[in-house]
Amino acid sequence: ANRILDEGDVQHALTQVVVRQLSDAAGADLQLAEPFLASVVQQVVEADAFRTVFDGAVSRAHHVLVTRGSTDFVLDLKQAYGRIKGTLEQVAPKLASQLPSERKLDILVLTHNQLSAVYDTIDQVKRIVEVLTIVGVVSVASGIALSPRRWRALALAGFVLLGTAVLFLLALVVGRAVLHSRIGDPVYADAARSVFGVLTRGLVVQTVVIGAVAVMVAVAARFTDRHGLPAWPRATRGAWRWIVHAVPVPVLDVDHDGTVSDAEAAPGAVLARLRLPEPRRQVRRQHVARALALLAVGLVALFDTDFVTTVAVVLFGVAALYFAVVEGLAAWRGPRHPGTEPLPGSRL
């Protein structure tokens, strides 16, 4: 509820709902002052005290929503009415006197008939998900068990899972657009789209994590299918050496004969040289493209607080940023065109 209330579109929609209800209750005289009243209501909606009112309304509405055979699904915001009227009395007493003495501020979200349709839809979706999950797991397990090349079958299953995750993300994007187009009022449409984004953000994170794991499993299975299990120790050692060489570390300035120069050997000398990371063999534009892609992924994972919900995503973002720097340094030292040698030396 708090994340939903943080959305500016939701705050604006709540303000419009409250202002319209107050204006309808007070009569035509208050309609002329709606812009000023909206500014007062907006301040109340944005205040921390309103979160308590909003959380309580959502909690009560949630209890109604999960109870079959319940009445309409309504957000009851009457506790905010006293705060709105009290604030208005301080800045515009004459306008506040036009407000009714008692007023219910209710937002009707779904009627009883609409709730019944929601329950039926949820039941159907649950049954479909259960059947598809069982059929999918059995099919994948049977396919891998019966395949003459099981590692290749496992790799194919991983790529299929990745494709499914991508399709699911596209379905969420399409669903958000459809939801926005089905609501006639632009204010409510923007608020509904923001709420949809907040509610599905956890699904998006889980889908991204599942897709990443599927890719790693698929690549590992494909490698095993091509080279066999005995190739893994050699590949692991090679990957470790690449990681070690990719770490930029300070080094002493060593002469061609292997001796350390006097300037660097002096007491308190600053290790001002930096060993450049590997690899430096691709064309510069290839390193630049990878660096930009990794930089974008790392920044999103670290600085988008709504997206960062797991430690795994944070670590992935740190790794992506690090390798973005590695690729950037490699691009700076790499050749501009294919077939040319990189600049001599491996230190900056």
- In tens digits, the chain (348 residues) has pLDDT values of 778 888 888 888 888 888 887 777 766 556 667 788 888 888 888 888 888 888 888 887 777 777 766 667 777 777 777 778 777 777 777 777 777 666 667 777 767 676 677 777 878 888 898 998 899 889 989 988 898 989 999 999 999 999 999 999 899 888 888 888 887 778 888 888 888 888 888 888 888 888 989 999 999 999 999 888 888 888 888 887 776 666 655 544 444 454 544 444 444 444 444 455 544 455 666 667 777 777 777 777 666 655 545 666 666 777 777 777 777 776 776 666 665 554 444 444
pLDDT, residue 205, reads 83
CA–CA distance, 128 with 131 (Å, rounded to integer): 5
Give the strand pairing for 73-76 and 106-110: antiparallel
Cα–Cα distance, 63 to 77 (Å, whole number): 16
d(CA 267, CA 312) in angstroms, rounded, equals 43
Contact 196, 176 (CB under 8 A): yes
Element (H, E) at 273: strand 273-274
Q: What's the half-sphere exposure (Cβ side, CA atoms, 13 Å) at 185?
A: 9
- Exposure string over 265-283, b if 16+ CB within 10 A, otherwise e: eeeeeeeebeebbbebebb
Is residue 200 within a helix (H) or strand (E), and if so which, with residue range? helix 186-227
Residue 279 preceded by cis peptide, ω within 30: yes
**Confidence at residue 50, expressed as pLDDT on a 0 to 100 scale:** 82
Identify the helix (H) or strand (E) that includes residue 171: helix 150-182
Of the candidates 62, 91, 93, 78, the one whose C-alpha atom is nearest the C-alpha of residue 21 is 78
Three-state secondary-structure class, residue 336: coil
Q: DSSP assignment, residue 26?
A: H
First CA to last CA distance, the chain: 52
**Per-residue confidence (pLDDT) for residue 308, from 0 to 100:** 47
Predicted local confidence at residue 69, as pLDDT? 64
pLDDT of residue 247: 60
